[in-house]
Amino acid sequence: MSVKKRTWRLFATLAVLGLVAAACGDDDDDGGQAATDGGGDEGSIWVLLPDTASSDRWEQEDAPYFTEAFEAAGLSEGDDFTIVNAEGDAATQQSQAEQAIADGASVIVLTSLDTGSGATIIDQAKDAGVEVVEYDRFNTGGSGGAAYVSFDNVAVGAAMAEAVEPAIDALGVSPARVVELNGGEEDNNSFLFKQGYDETVQERVDAGDWELIADQFVPGWDNAEAQTLMEQILVDNNNDVDAVFAANDGLANSVINALEAAGVGPVPLSGQDATQAGIQNVLLGKQTVSVYKPIQDEAGVAAAIALALRSGDDIVEAAESYESQLASGGSDVSVIGIEAESGEPSDEAEGDGIVPYVALVPIGVTVDNVADTVIADEFRTVEELCTGEVASTDFCQQNS
C-alpha cells in the first residue's frame, strides 16, 4: 500500500480505543475476558518511560493516559500491559526492555533516554520479533521502529518563536540580545525544536535585529545544569539578556530562577509541555508561552497503534478509520515519515530506512488563551493553577 502524506481527524481517545478493542475481538460482559477473547495469545504491551527528572509529564500524564487507554480496550495491567520508568538510567531501561521480551511482549512503546541506547533496544526487540512504537522521542542510528508517534517537533519550536518574537519586538531594543537554551544533544527532538525556533532567530539575526549571544544544549535536559548554564551566561554578558528560547518548561523555570537571583527580568521566554509550573509562570508573566502538546492525544494514538500492532493490523489503515476528533478537540494529525538514520522528517511515510511518523499538531499557550486550551481540555484545572501568588493574577481572579 503506497502511503503519501495524509491528514485526518481522529476519534476521542476512548472511542478510538473502543473501536480498536472491538477489532481485536468480541467484548463480552465478563470484564477482563474481552482481552482473552480478543487475542490472549497476542502478547503483552510494555511501555518504557524515561525518567521523572526531565519533566513531571511522564508519570503524571503519560502513564495514567496509557493505563486509561489500555483498560478501555479491555486489557488488564500486569497481565496484558505493563508501564515502567527507568528513572534516568539507560542500563535500567535496557533491563526493562529485556524483561519485556522475556515476558513475551508483542509490542514495546519506547521513550528512550538517549538515541544510542534507544536504537539498541529497538534492534534487540526486532530481533526477538517484538514490534516497537517510538514514543515522543525518536532514536537515530538504528533500524527504526514500526512507527513513531510524537508531535510535529519542528512546529513545537516554531510555536515558541511565534509567541516570543512579538514579545521581543515590543521591547523596542535593537539589537535584542537573545539566548537559546536547547534540550539535551542525546535527544533528537532537541535539534528539531531548535530547528523550529532557530529559523526565526537566524532570520532576525541576519537582519541585524537580534544578536544570538549564547546557544547552549543542556545535557540530559537537566534542570539544575540549565540553571548553572544560565547563571554563567548572565555573568558572561553582565546580565544583559533580553530574551531566552528555552526548550521546555523545566528549562524555562531554571532560567527564571537564574534571572531572579541576578535581579534581571522577566524577559520574553519560551517553554513547552504545559506543566502546572509552566502555565503558572505564564500567568505570572514570567514566561511568554508554553507549547501545549495534548498528551492525552499523543498517548491515545500511541496506544491505538500499539493495539493494532498487537493484533497484526495495518497501523495506517487503522488510523484512517478514525475520522473524528482527538480527545483535546484541537489537533489534526499527519502521517509523514522520518529517516531512521538521520531523524529528519520526510514527506514519504514508507520506504527503505523510513519509519511512519504520526505527527500531532502542538498549540502555543499564552496568558490570552489558557482558558480556551489547557483548561477547556481539562488538561489543567483552575484549582491547581490558582495557588500561592498565582491566585492574585487577573486570570485567577476572573475564573476562581
206, part of any domain: yes
Tens-place pLDDT, residues 77-96: 999 999 999 999 999 999 99
Kindly state the average pLDDT of the residues 158-182.
Answer: 98
93, part of any domain: yes
268 and 139 assigned to the same domain: no
- pLDDT at 33 > cutoff 70: no
Sequence letter at residue 14: L
20 and 100 assigned to the same domain: yes
Query: pLDDT exceeding 70 applies to what percent of the chain?
Result: 86
- pLDDT at 30 > cutoff 80: no
144 and 50 assigned to the same domain: yes
229 and 344 assigned to the same domain: no
- pLDDT at 4 > cutoff 50: no
Q: At a CB cut-off of 8 Å and minimum separation 6, what does 114 contact?
A: 90, 184, 186, 187
Query: What is the band of 318 on the pLDDT scale with cuts at 50, 70, 90?
Result: low
Tens-place pLDDT, residues 188-231: 899 999 999 999 999 999 999 999 999 999 999 999 999 999 99
284 and 346 assigned to the same domain: no
Question: Which of 320 and 136 is assigned the larger pLDDT?
Answer: 136
Domain CATH code at residue 227: 3.40.50.2300
1, part of any domain: no
327 and 349 assigned to the same domain: yes
394, part of any domain: yes
283 and 383 assigned to the same domain: yes
Give the Cβ contact number of residue 240 at 10 Å.
11
Number of structural domains in the chain: 2
Query: pLDDT exceeding 90 applies to what percent of the chain?
Result: 69
- pLDDT at 329 > cutoff 80: no
Q: Which of 383, 385, 185, 141 is nearest to 281 (CA)?
A: 385
232 and 165 assigned to the same domain: yes
Residues 115 and 186: their CA atoms lie apart, in Å, by: 6
- pLDDT at 124 > cutoff 50: yes
Give the Cβ contact number of residue 352 at 10 Å.
6
- pLDDT at 284 > cutoff 70: yes
The neighbouring-strand residues paired with 214 are: 179
Kindly state the average pLDDT of the residues 375-389.
Answer: 95
- pLDDT at 320 > cutoff 60: no
21, part of any domain: yes
336 close to 23: Cβ distance less than 8 angstroms: no
Residues 107 and 24: their CA atoms lie apart, in Å, by: 15
Q: What is the mean pLDDT of the chain?
A: 87
Domain that holds residue 98: 6-151+294-360
233 and 332 assigned to the same domain: no
245 and 315 assigned to the same domain: no
Tens-place pLDDT, residues 287-307: 999 999 888 888 988 998 999
339 and 216 assigned to the same domain: no
246 and 389 assigned to the same domain: yes
